[in-house]
Amino acid sequence: MTAAAVITCSEPERLARAMGRHFAHKVPVEQDGARTRVLLAAGRFELEPGPRRIAVRASAAGEKELADVKRIAENHLARFARPGEIDVAWEIEGHTSTGTT
């Protein structure tokens, strides 16, 4: 299963780098150009910075695992985006679910 979101933020490159460094102390992290891929036990998420936005893609084998990956990514994005707020609208197989952090 896969979910994706695009988040507007002022410093997308800094946010992706900070998240990658943070998670690299705990789990495998891969860098592919600007893309950061974080490999969790439940699945993985990818961060791809662009102009004033960061694209996030979460994937996992099942619904529960995907919910865990999304929660982890969203919580950490909110923490590292401070002092600003982020709004994450996940697209999952044609459905949208919004979480404001």
* pTM, entire model: 0.85
Q: State how far Cα 35 lies from the chain centre.
A: 11
CB count within 10 Å of CB 46 equals 18
pLDDT at site 95: 54
Where do we find the tokens 């495998």? 28
pLDDT at site 71: 95
Q: What is the mean pLDDT of the chain?
A: 88
Per-residue pLDDT of 9-32, as tens digits, reads 888 999 999 999 999 999 999 999
Residue 32's domain comprises: 2-100
Per-residue pLDDT of 76-95, as tens digits, reads 998 988 776 777 778 875 55
Picking from 40, 52, 55, 51, the residue whose alpha carbon sits closest to that of residue 90 is 55
**Separation between Cα atoms, residue 93 and residue 9, nearest integer Å:** 25
Higher pLDDT, 85 or 63: 63
Q: How many domains is the chain built from?
A: 1
Picking from 15, 14, 43, the residue whose alpha carbon sits closest to that of residue 28 is 43
pLDDT at site 101: 45
CATH number, domain with residue 60:
3.30.310.50
